[in-house]
Amino acid sequence: MTEMKLHDLLCALKGAGEETRLRILALFRSGDLTVTELVSVLRQSQPRVSRHLKLLCEAGLLERGREGTWIFYRLAAKGGAGDIARMIIDFIPLDDQILQNDQLRLREIKKDRMTKAESYFGRNAHHWDKIRSLYIAEEEVEKNILKITSDMKIGDFLDVGTGTGRMLDVFSPFIREGIGVDLNREMLSVARVNLEKSKYKNCQVRHGDMYDLALPDCSVDLVLFHQVLHFADDPLTAIKETARLLRAGGRVVIVDFAPHNLEFLRNEHAHRRLGFGDKEIKHWLDSAGLMSKPVIKLAGAELEVVIWTAGKK
């Protein structure tokens, strides 16, 4: 743990030393949350919850970040008070009835969020590729992805959040076997139809969760997140799960938007996050034990697409 001054340690402990604030910290075991979500879970007023969040941030236990009109809270980065926050969470008795009720309401909120997202995916499954290409030509993105992986001998390829299976089709000539995973069954139906049309028969799709991929350790050479993480509740956990799957010398490629303020993507297209900064992605890759490689940025008319790559150390 990073060395702390006595004053900082006292501030961190005082910041956590209240029932509601301990309940709040316990909820952050599962990723970023908004004030609205916390209000629904804790069943307290918005001003009261905001006050507790302010004190936790001042104590260095939580961090806040604005994305458009939404504010996300998350555990502070590891080191200093961030380490204290994680230690406190480890000591919180999660079998306590109050905390169990909090977790139940949080699961209900996440289930509702997932239902809305899946409903959107279902409605748009048959023209999903068109939606994804509104801002920059997908051909340009695909060309760059293939270029940065052209030096690899790819045996097993994993496409997380495969959607229509487009990236499986793109990579199929260059791999031994490919697996596409998606939670939405309508998307998987479209992907299967598309793969049947391909002259290559080395790819398959399956229903699966990016947080629990049910694949063996060290079984994949290349993992791709293509315009997927902005839908995720907990991108770090998803990255760590795929890092587990990588063989020595394997890589993960993340394609997503740079930070932006296009709120309609959240309101109309179920985006959870309005893009990602290089520092945030690098922190996640480092936390997953991956070594970052040079970043590629592709400017579009309204949005910038970024390609982050990292290898297994």
Are both 73 and 139 inside the same structural domain?
Answer: no
Same domain for 33 and 158: no
Q: Give burial (CB, 10 Å; 0-12/13-18/19+) of 260.
A: middle
What percent of the chain is predicted at pLDDT more than 70? 94
How many CB atoms within 10 Å of residue 97?
Answer: 7
The closest alpha carbon to 191, from 206, 171, 176, 174, belongs to 206
Q: Which residue, 39, 74, 92, sits at the end of a domain?
A: 92
Worst-scoring range by mean pLDDT, 142-146, 193-197, 305-309?
Answer: 193-197
Instruction: Please write the tens of the pLDDT for every residue from 218-249.
Output: 999 999 999 999 999 999 999 999 999 999 99
Residue at 199 is within a domain = yes
154 pLDDT tier (thresholds 50, 70, 90): very high
Do 255 and 152 lie in one domain? The reply is yes
Same domain, 157 and 243: yes
Total domain count, the chain: 2
For residue 67, pLDDT over 80 is answered with: no
102/43 Cα distance (integer angstroms): 9
Q: What is the CATH number of the domain that holds 15?
A: 1.10.10.10
**Do 140 and 77 share a structural domain?**
no
What is the pTM assigned to this prediction?
0.76
Amino acid at 74: R
Last residue of a domain, one of 32, 65, 92: 92
The confidence score (pLDDT) of residue 2 equals 52
Judge whether 266 lies within some domain.
Answer: yes
> Which is nearest to 229 in space by CA: 199, 192, 256?
256
- The answer to whether residue 127 scores a pLDDT higher than 80 is no
Residue type (1 letter), 10: L
Q: Do both 139 and 238 map to the same domain?
A: yes
My answer on whether 191 and 239 are in the same domain is yes
Residue 122 lies in a domain: no
Residue 252 lies in a domain: yes
Range with the lowest mean pLDDT among 145-149, 261-265, 306-310?
A: 261-265
Whichever domain contains 271, its CATH number is: 3.40.50.150
- Residue 70: what pLDDT? 78
pLDDT given at position 146: 97
Residues 63 and 135 in one domain: no
pLDDT at 131: 63
Domain's final residue, options 75, 92, 109:
92
Q: What's the CA gap between 275 and 258, in Å, rounded?
A: 5
Same domain? 157 vs 77? no
For residue 32, what are the domain limits?
6-92
Could you tell me if residue 106 is inside a domain? no
Report how far apart, in Å, the C-alpha atoms of 59 and of each of 33, 77, 123, 184 are: 18, 13, 44, 40
How large is the average pLDDT for residues 32-50?
93
| 175 & 245 share domain | yes
Q: Kindly tell me the burial class for residue 188, based on how many C-beta atoms sit within 10 Å of its own C-beta (0-12, 13-18, 19 or more).
A: buried
Query: Is residue 194 included in any domain, yes or no?
Result: yes
Q: Which two tokens stand for residue 297?
A: 């940025």
Q: Are residues 177 and 223 in the same domain?
A: yes
Name the token pair of 220: 């994949």
Q: Both 243 and 182 in a single domain? A: yes
Q: Is residue 147 part of a domain?
A: yes
pLDDT at 220: 97
Q: What's phi and psi for 154, nearest 5 deg?
A: -95, 110
Report yes or no on 108 lying in a domain.
Answer: no
Q: For residue range 178-215, what is the model confidence (pLDDT) as tens digits? A: 999 998 888 888 888 888 888 888 999 998 899 999 89
